[in-house]
Amino acid sequence: MSVNIYVGNLSYDMTEGKLSELFGAHGAVTSAKIITDQYSGRSKGFGFIEMKDGKEADNAIKDLNGKNVLNREMKVNIAKPKTNNWR
């Protein structure tokens, strides 16, 4: 079963390719997505990684949480399920 990982405090210079490569060192990455502003197209500073294997995802989270990448200390943890409680 795949694991969805939240990655916060990303540098605005981070690309989906670089993010995928960073997590790919720990295992198979299914997808990498950096969330962007719909009007400017600029990164919002966070994204999501999906990894196939739970053990590999856990190792990536432990290794990359707090790691300084492109002069920003990344925040990495299991993504919380999306909810629709917007008012």
The pair of three-digit structure tokens given for residue 83, joined into one six-digit string: 């909810």
pLDDT digits (tens, 9 = 90+) for 7-52: 999 999 999 999 999 999 999 999 999 999 999 999 999 999 999 9
Q: Residue 1 — very low, low, confident or very high, per pLDDT cuts 50/70/90?
A: confident
Q: Residue 85 — very low, low, confident or very high, per pLDDT cuts 50/70/90?
A: low
Residue 22 host element (H or E): helix 16-24
Task: Output 80 or 59, whichever has higher pLDDT.
Answer: 59
- So what's the pLDDT on residue 82? 76
**Which one, of 53, 59, 48, 41, lies nearest residue 20 by Cα?**
48
Domains of the chain: 1-76 (3.30.70.330)
